[in-house]
Structure 1
Amino acid sequence: MSYDVAIIGCGVTGAAIAFELSKYNLKTVILEAENDVASGTTKANSGIIHAGYDPRPGSLMAILNALGSEYAPELCRKLDVPVKWTGSFVCAFDKKDDVTVKELYGRGLKNRISQMEILNPSQIKKLEPNLSDKITSALYAKTAGVVSPWELCLAFAETAVLNGTELKRNFKVNSIKKIPCEQCNKEYKNAYEITSGKGEKVNASFVINAAGVYADEIHSLVAKPSYKIKPSRGQYFLLDHEASGIVNRVIFQCPSNGTKGVLVAPTCHDNIIVGPDAEATEKDDIAVTSQGLNYIAELAKKSVPSIDLSLSIRNFAGVRANSTKDDFIIREVPESKGFIDFAGIKSPGLSASFAMGEAALMLLEKAGLHIEQKKRFIDTRKKIRFKELSEQEKKQLIKDNYTYGRVVCRCETITEGEILAALNSIIKPVSVDGIKRRCNAGMGRCQGGFCSPRVIKLLMDFGLEYDEIMQDKNGSYIIAGEL
């Protein structure tokens, strides 16, 4: 098959680019190595939309963070993505930190970030009474927020597919070679043949490398190495709803060693998230360690002394795509015309994702891609979230469709109707966690202990055999046999 643009990777960066390109009369394909979208870093991060005061002024991080946080409210509203505009604190604990807070404020002004102020201890306590008495000042950025990162990725990807983009899952890129343009689109001077490990081939005139922690390896298939991904693992606690309200804003400590450090923050699903640490690791190492969790616990209690980490319902880890460059790597590869890197997308990559599509479009046009806007583009999306409805709306919905009267996930009040809607969605889930990402079933206190058997049965009703059911990624089979 031949395409105008092939996007390698369907994390939030690749999905955001696909969403933007789907506004135009282009033949676009997304090539995802795993069996679902949002399967890498996107599903395992802090979910913060940063205000934009932290990146170095003039950097791609600063420019795209500022644009992304500006675009986020409207896009989240149109695509029905859960988001809360909480604001954030960066807390100082001594005079050295006070200087850092002032520096971040000044950097924010240079990055044209609005609604910032430096608070004194009494102002801090008034807004966040559970914070430490030892905090000496804080930068308050009112435009920061929290979002569901996997739901954002799904929203971008589903809308792109709805508008004609193709998605190929289980397409792990094995080789890329330049081919004569006649084998793809004659109007362009460049063409690539992309082959999966299973031998499936795709031709494309332009390629976007959004492969996350594997971006350097994809780059090296078409050009000499010019950067290296140095993965960093971050571990987390996720606390039960019972902890909700201990903080109402994203609470950072002053950054150190190139990281934003351990945070305590509400999530858009009314949990509390605590973490991450930062440890050099392998690209696929998402193990959780007692050493890492103890470190996180110690620093979290520095900010919020009364936090009760025994309320943790899950520990998890994600791997960040740190690179040997001190900025996002977003550029056309000089020796490979039409091949564009989106690499080293670490924090604030999620915040910047809202603007990544525009950045990709500009580079593609500069590389020679011809674009024509579609006359009809579907730019909205709506989901039913049963527990958010009024009593009257719930009664009417159940009257119209009785499956919404069957609660499957009791912790999160997720109904059979919502799970069936996920199974009928345009990018269908193929695993228990795939359903979890789409409708929140299994996200609560028991972490699927109650609802997983019913979810498995629903997956089987949609055609999967019992020995094909996976928890998440390929190979994570659940059922060994029948009794």
Structure 2
Amino acid sequence: MFDVVIVGSGVVGSGIARELSKYDLKTCVLERGTDVAVGTSKANSGIVHAGHDTKTNSLKSILNVKGNAMFDRLSKELDFPFKRNGSLVICFDESDIEKLEALKEKGDNNGVPRLEILTKEKLRELEPNINENAVAALFAPTGGIVCPYEMTIAYAENANANGVEFVFNCEVKNIIKSENGFTIETSKGIYESKIVINAAGLFADDLNNMVSKNKIDLVARKGEYCLFDKLAGEATTRTIFQLPTDLGKGVLVTPTVDGNLLIGPNAVDIEDKSNLSTTQEGLDEILSKAKKTLKEVPMRQIITSFSGIRAHSSEDDFIIGEAEDAEGFINAAGIESPGLSSAPAIAEMVENIVIEKLNPAKNDKFNPIRHGIPKFREMDNEERKNIIKSNPSYGKIVCRCETVTEGEIIDAIRKPLGAKDLDGLKRRTRAGMGRCQSGFCSTKLVNILAKELNIPVTEVTKFGGESNLLIGKNKEI
């Protein structure tokens, strides 16, 4: 019997797991995928929103502003990349300046600090590549950028190091309320728990509806993106939005924490929650809108496109709290934008609910510090000499585009909750994320995975399941 079972290991589920690892609780995370951060948390804008555009007094506004302020501490404790680059909301018509002023007033009411309306001239000083048609902007200096999957991995690794169990390839089939808590039927057998936390992302409505008569209906809203080479990363230094619409914050242009340029997303409601395809129509749409933001969009520097799906609630707010008719079943559902920005505060909110119900003792062995994999590309020559001296595998470059070494790859596999496939390596080290998109390094990565996991190369997959890369050897001549 577990004290707490968390369903879902995205940034919210992993964040909750980390917070609960501070207590003497028997906690388990069940994940239907092969790794953490394989759903919405792996494919989004990576933006830490300031919080000026959410409805005042909504959970989104309260948790966004609170969560934003927690990133500096968390990024240091958990060693994930985060930068406060600031954000801009621009408009193209003098008559829309009053809308910026209304947005600022909303942000002030939400508690967002240091918001400022910039003139056309001041805007040009900050962002020389801004389109000449932009007439004003709302500047939010507390806006930031983060690597969403590195943040999730950091949360999960720290939770695991502090005693939380993670079970992968474990799909929840049914949840039954029992006298002592819940019986959770999964593809890997039965789990019993006093409390269930529903952090299942796109599928959180399915879980809630298994136990509660108060049904949740989540809409899968897909967004498409274009990622540009690092040569295009200086097209802007801040995250730039256009005035938001009813469908969201619209197409943004932003640098990433790794130095790339990212453009997107659009917003298309879909039926199939697994549909991560991109379309020419969708990509043309976001690039066309981005050209309204920047003087010049470096089209030749696009290295890949992708899509992500967020769970939109008909209530247009986060759904967080204990189900009224299922005591001990706690929802963290409908976590769409600004879900990533709010994740630290969501984790604390759920933590407080659990602590109030179970009143556990503190975990006196809790260690808040997690160290990431050393990044060879960020080291100076002296640091490189020292790490190669202590571990010669750091002297062998595997991914040339991103300067990732064999040592980093091996560490990524051997770490707690380590990589088991190519995408897992990519998220932990950036191997395969450069301009050649793993054209040169994939063979080496497959061989290292096979050796470290002690499996044939034909069993190495891209993202688990049946995504095998090789089917056998060529006939020898």
TM-score category of the 2 structures, normalised to the smaller one: over 0.9
Q: Is contact 2:220–2:269 with CA below 8 Å preserved after alignment?
A: yes
The one-character-per-residue Cα deviations of 1:394-446 (angstroms, maximum 9, x if unpaired) are 10111111000000000000000001100111002111010111111111101
> Is residue 52 of structure 1 aligned with residue 51 of structure 2?
yes
SS of the equivalent of 2:312 reads: coil
> Is residue 477 of structure 1 aligned with residue 454 of structure 2?
no
Q: Is contact 1:87–1:140 with CA below 8 Å preserved after alignment?
A: yes
Q: Distance in 2 between matches of 1:474 and 1:218?
A: 23
> Is residue 257 of structure 1 aligned with residue 246 of structure 2?
yes
Match of 1:306 among 296, 300, 312: 296
**What is residue 269 of structure 1 aligned with on the other side?**
258
Q: Distance in 2 between matches of 1:473 and 1:350?
A: 25
> Is residue 236 of structure 1 aligned with residue 235 of structure 2?
no
Which residue type is aligned with residue 416 of structure 1?
E
**What is residue 114 of structure 2 aligned with on the other side?**
115
1:461 deviates by 0.3
Q: Is contact 1:216–1:225 with CA below 8 Å preserved after alignment?
A: no
Q: Distance in 2 between matches of 1:466 and 1:374?
A: 41
Which residue type is aligned with residue 256 of structure 1?
T
Q: Distance in 1 between matches of 2:420 and 2:473?
A: 20
Which residue type is aligned with residue 433 of structure 2?
M
Q: Distance in 2 between matches of 1:172 and 1:310?
A: 41
Which residue type is aligned with residue 90 of structure 2?
C
| Residues 96 and 176 (structure 1), Cα distance of their counterparts in 2 relative to 1, 3 Å cut | farther
**What is residue 60 of structure 2 aligned with on the other side?**
61
> Is residue 378 of structure 1 aligned with residue 353 of structure 2?
no
1:474 deviates by 1.9
SS of the equivalent of 1:167 reads: strand
Q: Report how many aligned residue pairs link the two structures.
A: 471
Which residue type is aligned with residue 472 of structure 2?
G
Q: Is contact 1:233–1:279 with CA below 8 Å preserved after alignment?
A: yes
Q: Distance in 2 between matches of 1:305 and 1:480?
A: 48
1:467 deviates by 2.3
1:371 deviates by 1.9
Q: Distance in 1 between matches of 2:71 and 2:455?
A: 37
Which residue type is aligned with residue 269 of structure 1?
D
Q: Is contact 1:412–1:441 with CA below 8 Å preserved after alignment?
A: yes
Which residue type is aligned with residue 232 of structure 1?
R
1:310 deviates by 2.4
Q: Distance in 1 between matches of 2:48 and 2:394?
A: 32
Q: Is contact 1:53–1:105 with CA below 8 Å preserved after alignment?
A: yes
SS of the equivalent of 1:245 reads: helix
**What is residue 138 of structure 1 aligned with on the other side?**
137
Q: Which has the higher mean CA deviation after the structures are superposed, 457-466 or 31-40?
A: 457-466
1:226 deviates by 2.4
1:289 deviates by 0.2
1:375 deviates by 1.4
Q: Distance in 2 between matches of 1:310 and 1:330?
A: 43
Q: Distance in 1 between matches of 2:57 and 2:8?
A: 27
Match of 2:322 among 332, 336, 354: 332
Q: Distance in 2 between matches of 1:227 and 1:102?
A: 35
Which residue type is aligned with residue 407 of structure 1?
I
Q: Is contact 1:264–1:274 with CA below 8 Å preserved after alignment?
A: yes
Within 5 A, what are the aligned runs for 1:327-406? 327-366=317-356, 368-383=357-372, 384-406=374-396
**What is residue 187 of structure 1 aligned with on the other side?**
none
Q: Distance in 1 between matches of 2:455 and 2:125?
A: 54
**What is residue 408 of structure 1 aligned with on the other side?**
398
> Is residue 438 of structure 1 aligned with residue 428 of structure 2?
yes
Q: Is contact 1:86–1:142 with CA below 8 Å preserved after alignment?
A: yes
Q: Is contact 2:208–2:216 with CA below 8 Å preserved after alignment?
A: no
Which residue type is aligned with residue 456 of structure 2?
E
Q: Distance in 1 between matches of 2:185 and 2:288?
A: 47
1:466 deviates by 1.9
SS of the equivalent of 1:76 reads: helix
Q: Distance in 1 between matches of 2:455 and 2:217?
A: 40
SS of the equivalent of 1:230 reads: strand
1:309 deviates by 2.1
1:96 deviates by 4.3
Which residue type is aligned with residue 335 of structure 1?
D
SS of the equivalent of 2:210 reads: coil
**What is residue 83 of structure 2 aligned with on the other side?**
84
Q: Distance in 2 between matches of 1:205 and 1:258?
A: 38
Within 5 A, what are the aligned runs for 1:188-207? 191-198=181-188, 200-207=189-196
**What is residue 185 of structure 1 aligned with on the other side?**
none
Q: Is contact 1:227–1:325 with CA below 8 Å preserved after alignment?
A: no
1:331 deviates by 1.4
Which residue type is aligned with residue 220 of structure 1?
N
Q: Distance in 2 between matches of 1:94 and 1:304?
A: 16
Q: Distance in 2 between matches of 1:157 and 1:235?
A: 27
1:361 deviates by 1.4
Normalization by structure 2: what TM-score? 0.97
1:75 deviates by 0.3
Which residue type is aligned with residue 280 of structure 1?
D
Q: Is contact 1:231–1:323 with CA below 8 Å preserved after alignment?
A: no
1:278 deviates by 0.2
Q: Distance in 1 between matches of 2:380 and 2:370?
A: 20
Q: Distance in 2 between matches of 1:447 and 1:327?
A: 37
Q: Is contact 1:94–1:135 with CA below 8 Å preserved after alignment?
A: yes
Q: Distance in 2 between matches of 1:371 and 1:357?
A: 17
Q: What are structure 2's unaligned runs of at least 5 residues? A: none
Normalization by structure 1: what TM-score? 0.96
**What is residue 105 of structure 2 aligned with on the other side?**
106
Structure 1: which 4+ aligned runs deviate by more than 4 Å? none
Q: Distance in 1 between matches of 2:95 and 2:226?
A: 28
1:103 deviates by 1.2
**What is residue 210 of structure 2 aligned with on the other side?**
221
Q: Is contact 1:15–1:153 with CA below 8 Å preserved after alignment?
A: yes
1:135 deviates by 0.7
1:227 deviates by 2.1
> Is residue 458 of structure 1 aligned with residue 448 of structure 2?
yes
Which residue type is aligned with residue 10 of structure 1?
S
- The two structures, once aligned, show a CA RMSD in angstroms of 1.0
